[in-house]
Amino acid sequence: MREGKKGSTGASSLKKKEKLKKTKTNQNHNEEDNNTIITKKKNTKKTAKKVQFEKQEEEPLQKKKQQQQQLPTTDSQSESGSESDYEDFSEDDVSEDYELLRQSEDGESESSGEEVHGNHSDSGNDDYHGLEDHSNSSESHQGVEESDSSEDEVVPRNTVGDVPLEWYKDEKHIGYDISGQKITIKERQDKLASFLASVDDSKNWRKIYDEYNDEEIELTKEETKLICRLLKGKAPHAEFDPYPDYVDWFKHDDALHPLSNAPEPKRRFIPSTWESKKVVQYVRGIRKGLIKLDEPKEEEQRFYLLWGDDSSAAEQANRLSYIPAPKPKLPGHEESYNPSLEYIPTQEEINSYQLMYDEDRPKFIPKRFTSFRSIPAYENAVKDSFERCMDLYLCPRVRKKRINIDPESLKPKLPSQKDLKPYPATCYLEYKGHKGAVMTISTDASGQWIASGSTDGTVRIWEIESGRCLRIWEIGEAVQYVAWNPVHELPLLAVSAGQDVLILNSGFGNQEDQRKVKELLHVQTPTALDDSDNMASIVSWHQDDKHDGIRLKHFKTVTSVEWHRRGDYLSTVMPADILLFLSKKLSHRIPFKLHGLPVSSVFHPTRSVFFISTKKNIRVYDLVKQKLIKKLETGLREVSSVAIHPAGDNLIVGSREGKLCWFDMDLSSKPYRVLKCHPKDITNVAFHRSYPLFASSSDDCTAYVFHGMVYSDLNQNPLIVPLEILRGHKTSNGRGVLDCKFHPRQPWLFTAGADSVIRLYCH
Amino acid sequence: MSLEQFLLAKGISAEKILEIEYIKAVVPQKEEGPSLHDDWVSAVDGSNPGFILTGSYDCLGRVWKNTGSCTHILEGHSGALSSIRIINSDGMTDVTVATASKDRTARLWKFDAEEVINHPKKIQAFKILRGHKASVQSIAPKTSGDMVWLFLLNCIFIDVCSGSWDCTINLWRTNKSNAEGDQVSIKKRKVNNQADESQLEAHGAQSSFSKAEAVSTLVGHTQCVSSVVWPEHETIYSASWDHSVRRWDVETGKDLSDIFCGKVLHCIDVGGEGSALIAAGGSDPILRIWDPRKPGTSAPVFQFSSHSSWISACKWHNKSSFHLISASYDGKVMLWDLRTAWPLAVIDSHKDKVLSADWWRGDSIVSGGADSKLCISSGIYIHFQGKSEIIDLHMEEG
């Protein structure tokens, strides 16, 4: 009858479940019990033998049950004495249910018994039975599941039911117990005391206040564990296996006596129409784009070696990779014992092999033999195979990295010369007349005349368009430098010869200009020397009556003369120092201390900046503030000439070793480009005033013309393209072209040669 | 290249009938002895069949009757003459001449070419045209197309234009009605009227500059105006160092059209077919000919490139529309026919640069050069009817 009792308790728990929310603590117990009980039940259905055996087995199980049940009951026992009554009641109640349940079960067992015996088989019935079986088992599950919990359940004292507790807020009782007695509220400790008590009590955190029953419950360790597991979303009991192995109780296919012999129903073989409909629906959805399938995300490599060398990995792979040895050459016709005649080298060829290097010499010389018998043994056979083996084993093989780059593409892309026209290219005119090497030339601002100075001691003015010599001055000394005044209204010519600088009146310009020039060239005899005594020794101003000009006497040889753009100032360069003259007021001074001998000087085309080149460096001075602005380091051995771009930001420097430096002064104090083109000294460099051209002349009798484009965009570097080599001068005394100057308005270049000819190269 | 070589080169069978169009090379019949000058001959004018005018670097202009006989010397310039032109070419008796010089002036001269003298007569200028700020490179008289208009005004005006290194073209108008009485210089600009007293004293008369007639200054060129021509009443053509040829409207003073050639231009002449083709030469050995009537293009219609140096002068034949001559610094004067790419004649009589050249009497070429010679090559008979002969040539084998 134990069984029966069990069942009744199960049924009672069903009811109780409706009544009150029970804590889930016991669920696991129930589940565990379930299994055992199910097995038990089934067994009863099978055979009497088994039942008996079962009963024996059951006893320890029941014991276990009771032990477990003790857990909650211990809690509840302390509550009230009326508990026993309640239990009675519930038992009665449940027993009726149980009876019902029993009946249905019996019916089942009957039918199943029939099946077991295999007396008759009904497919429809069988189907029903299968289902029944399941439902039944699940039912019994439930029933049994709840059965134990009744014992575990804490029976609430309060019987008011699920009413808001506010209703009893003002009452002294909180409800009624099962016998209808009022349950009075326990006396409360005041909060402070309770708080203090709670602080002292180490178990306090486990205590929960049950409002409904007005009591404090202390959770046991097991309970807290259960709570923890529930919070984690696991089954409350650790022993519970949520995925038990399926026990197929009614396996019928391979059983000797299957429970059901019914054939597989047809519908299991028919594809489900509903499924196909659903599939069609999805397909339509996908086609219309209503359903979007997630594209598989490409997994990006989240971290990579930022500073890693890309090649290293590949290289490592290469080193480890196997490189097969090259195949030996297959024997050809020439290695035949009797090759055709064309394979046989002639005696001459054999002799020529002797002259070759050992590596280049052919390894095998074909020979003819009349028959196989006459073939001698190959004396190198062992050596060859040995070498082959050596090659196979020991020869290090490295995969050659072939770079497929067209060498043409490595060249910098330069614009074609056609696009850079016009530039001077051919010589059409020669200006002949000098008897010595033409040292220097200078073009007049308008571009109508050119002045030249020569070692024969003359200064000549030529008409550019016709090549006619218009005027000759006999200076008497080799002329070092001539310079036209850049101002149109002052047709003056500065000539340096020996230690003197002469300022000559060219005689051009209209009367007004001439009058002005004459005024300017008039010097009172040395009176202006009072104020600057030390300078007097350096320069003295004299009227030159012979040439109708001014003679500036220096104490050393003057190498070059430069005019300022306004034509008021000119600078002369001596090996010792640089002097600046204010030609109008006839004052002069030495403004700067230089480190090294000055070679050349240039005025800035727009600002009051002055460039002095010494042999190694170029110093940039501000004339207004009188201080050094910049120092350009040429890196050259000896600077020979300097020219400044008309915009004023770029400078070219020619050197005695044939190098040409381009300085971008915004960029750095180092050369932007160094062009090594002349094999001999560069004598002069020149910029064109308006065209993007510059030129260099050299003692190798050539002049080079370059395209030198300076962009107004500061981000763009100047473009330098070599354009043309101008030849034509003959060397004389080891000197070639001594000077080059551009025409101020046309892309024409004048070159002065040591062969006493001035040439004009036109575009 | 001989015909045989040509056939071989082109792979044409000798059996074939070939149509050969050819233009006869012209060989000057006679080289007359050079007229020697003291200095470079920079300008010649042969528009009057009776005499030749030359301008030279010795600041003198000369009148030559035939070769070797200098009749008049135009004296007064202080700089080399750059251009000399006859203003009225209709007679011998009353010849007016304009000269341009590098002393920044242009002068007008008058002489009687008829008078027989065995000693060169020195002539002074009757007008000095001042106003240019730099040397005057070229001077051109207005081609007298409308004499009626001139006579209506009851006095003869001399209209001259001149191009200069100061990038301008000045137009001058003077009346020569009472040239004998008081020497009246009319100039466009009344600057520096006191500076040239010495010049005027030579004339023995006080000039009155009050009648200055500012016709106009044509401004537009950016560099030296090297050559001007005034072929029509309304239009002036000019060539300049700024690589352009411009056509100016005289009345408004605006330039009507530009032709850019890329090279410095030294000489210009207008003539040829319908007197409309512009021939110009400059700082390269190519003589270019433009047709301004051709719309939308500034490319030359003809280019002749047989010279080897700068071209200093070019002149159209005044009757033929196909022939022109060019003088170059390579010492050659070439006669061109527009229909051939090669020169019809190469006159190589100069030893140095040829600075100027002109037609004379329709069948002679006069040229002056840096060898101080005036060369006259006469007897050049050209077919200016423009009919080239076509002959059939049948070549036998062998």
Give, as one character, the DSSP assignment of residue B153.
T
Number of H helices, E strands in chain B: 3, 31
Binary contact (A468, B57; C-beta < 8 A)? yes
- Return the H-helix or E-strand segment holding A660: strand A659-664
Contact list, A746 vs chain B (CB under 8 Å): 241, 264, 283
How far off is chain B from A525, nearest CA to CA, in Å? 30
pLDDT at B263: 86
Q: Are strands B70-75 and B121-124 parallel, antiparallel or unpaired?
A: parallel
pLDDT at A280: 95
Contact list, A419 vs chain B (CB under 8 Å): none
To the nearest 10°, the Cα dihedral for A68, A74, A76, A82? 110
Put simply, whether A468 touches B (Cβ < 8 Å) is yes
What superfamily would CATH give domain B20-380+390-394?
YVTN repeat-like/Quinoprotein amine dehydrogenase (2.130.10.10)
Give the C-alpha separation, A468 to B79, whole Å: 13
- Return the H-helix or E-strand segment holding A362: none
Query: Is residue A256's pLDDT more than 90?
Result: no
Put simply, whether A746 touches B (Cβ < 8 Å) is yes
Confidence of residue B92 (pLDDT cuts 50, 70, 90): low
Contact list, A447 vs chain B (CB under 8 Å): 223-224, 241
Confidence of residue B63 (pLDDT cuts 50, 70, 90): confident
pLDDT at B190: 37
Hey, of B283, B305, B352, B372, which one would you mutate to test binding to chain A, going by the most A CBs within 10 A of its CB? Answer: B283
Which residues fall within 8 angstroms of residue B328, CB to CB, at 6 or more apart? B281, B285, B307, B308, B309, B310, B311, B312, B334, B353, B354
pTM of the model: 0.61
How far off is chain B from A735, nearest CA to CA, in Å? 28
Give the C-alpha separation, A153 to A71, whole Å: 10
pLDDT at A83: 40
How far off is chain B from A690, nearest CA to CA, in Å? 13
Put simply, whether B104 touches A (Cβ < 8 Å) is yes
> What would the mean pLDDT of A612-635 be, rounded to a whole number?
83
Minimum-distance CB partner of A429 among B133, B310, B355: B310
Query: Is residue A554's pLDDT more than 60?
Result: yes
pLDDT at A555: 72
Hey, of A420, A428, A512, A763, which one would you mutate to test binding to chain B, going by the most B CBs within 10 A of its CB? Answer: A428
Put simply, whether A524 touches B (Cβ < 8 Å) is no
Give, as one character, the DSSP assignment of residue A237.
S
Residues of chain A with CATH 2.130.10.10: 417-762
Per residue in A186-218, pLDDT (tens digit) is: 777 778 888 888 788 777 778 888 888 878 888
Binary contact (B226, A465; C-beta < 8 A)? yes
Contact list, B309 vs chain A (CB under 8 Å): 428-429
Put simply, whether B363 touches A (Cβ < 8 Å) is no
The fraction of chain B above a pLDDT of 90, given in percent, is 2
CB count in 10 Å sphere of residue A44: 16
Query: Is residue A71's pLDDT more than 50?
Result: no
Confirm if B155 and B172 have CB atoms less than 8 A apart. no
pLDDT at A281: 94
Helix segments in chain B, DSSP class H: 3-10, 147-152, 197-203
Which residues fall within 8 angstroms of residue A540, CB to CB, at 6 or more apart? A526, A529, A552, A553
Minimum-distance CB partner of A429 among B57, B80, B329: B329
Binary contact (B309, A428; C-beta < 8 A)? yes
Which residues fall within 8 angstroms of residue A212, CB to CB, at 6 or more apart? A156, A158, A165, A174, A175
- Return the H-helix or E-strand segment holding B45: strand B41-45
CB count in 10 Å sphere of residue B92: 15
Put simply, whether B195 touches A (Cβ < 8 Å) is yes
What are the residue ranges spanned by the domains of chain B? 20-380+390-394
Put simply, whether A510 touches B (Cβ < 8 Å) is yes
Give the C-alpha separation, A499 to A555, whole Å: 6
pLDDT at A109: 42
pLDDT at A283: 93
Put simply, whether B265 touches A (Cβ < 8 Å) is no
Contact list, A763 vs chain B (CB under 8 Å): 262-263, 283-284
Query: Is residue B80's pLDDT more than 70?
Result: yes
Confirm if A201 and A175 have CB atoms less than 8 A apart. no
Residues, chain A, total? 763
Query: Is residue B357's pLDDT more than 70?
Result: yes
Per residue in A123-172, pLDDT (tens digit) is: 444 444 444 444 444 444 444 444 444 445 556 678 888 888 888 888 88
Binary contact (B133, A762; C-beta < 8 A)? no
Minimum-distance CB partner of A745 among B223, B284, B353: B223
Least Cα distance to B374 among B121, B87, B66 occurs for B66
Least Cα distance to B162 among B59, B232, B85, B109 occurs for B85
Give the C-alpha separation, B150 to B144, whole Å: 9
Query: Which residue of chain A has the CA closest to B57?
Result: A468
Confirm if B221 and B237 have CB atoms less than 8 A apart. no
Per residue in A296-330, pLDDT (tens digit) is: 777 777 777 777 665 555 555 555 667 777 888 88
Query: Is residue A74's pLDDT more than 80?
Result: no
Hey, of A421, A427, A466, A470, which one would you mutate to test binding to chain B, going by the most B CBs within 10 A of its CB? Answer: A466
Confidence of residue A245 (pLDDT cuts 50, 70, 90): confident
Minimum-distance CB partner of A511 among B80, B192, B283: B192
CATH number of A417-762: 2.130.10.10
Exposure on the CB side of residue A428, measured as CA atoms within 13 A: 26
Minimum-distance CB partner of A446 among B134, B192, B310: B134
Mean pLDDT of chain A: 74
pLDDT at A282: 93
Which amino acid is present at A363? K
> What would the mean pLDDT of A647-667 be, rounded to a whole number?
87
- Max mean pLDDT among A188-197, A355-364, A596-605, B238-247 falls in B238-247
Rg (CA), chain A: 60
How far off is chain A from B42, nearest CA to CA, in Å? 9
Q: CB contacts < 8 Å between A and B, how many? A: 56
Binary contact (B42, A466; C-beta < 8 A)? yes
pLDDT at B235: 84
Minimum-distance CB partner of B355 among A428, A446, A466: A466
ipTM value for the complex: 0.82
Give the C-alpha separation, B106 to B101, whole Å: 6
Per residue in B1-51, pLDDT (tens digit) is: 777 888 888 888 878 888 877 777 777 767 777 778 888 888 998 888 888
- Return the H-helix or E-strand segment holding A651: strand A650-655
Mean pLDDT of chain B: 76
Cα A655 versus chain centre, distance: 44
Confidence of residue B178 (pLDDT cuts 50, 70, 90): very low
Per residue in B213-259, pLDDT (tens digit) is: 547 788 888 888 888 888 887 888 888 888 888 888 888 888 888 88
Give the C-alpha separation, A217 to B16, whole Å: 136
Put simply, whether B59 touches A (Cβ < 8 Å) is no
Least Cα distance to A762 among A468, A442, A427, A420 occurs for A427
Confidence of residue A277 (pLDDT cuts 50, 70, 90): very high
Confirm if B238 and B220 have CB atoms less than 8 A apart. no
Strand order in the sheet with B287-290: B265-271, B277-282, B287-290, B302-304
Query: Is residue B203's pLDDT more than 80?
Result: no
Tokens of B312: 């200093």
Minimum-distance CB partner of B329 among A428, A448, A512: A428
The alpha carbon dihedral of A649, A650, A651, A657 has a sign of positive
Phi, psi of A355 (to 5 degrees): -80, -15
Give the C-alpha separation, A440 to A435, whole Å: 14
Binary contact (B195, A511; C-beta < 8 A)? yes
> What would the mean pLDDT of B269-298 be, rounded to a whole number?
85
CB count in 10 Å sphere of residue A579: 22
Query: Which residue of chain A has the CA closest to B282?
Result: A465
The alpha carbon dihedral of B385, B312, A760, A456 has a sign of positive
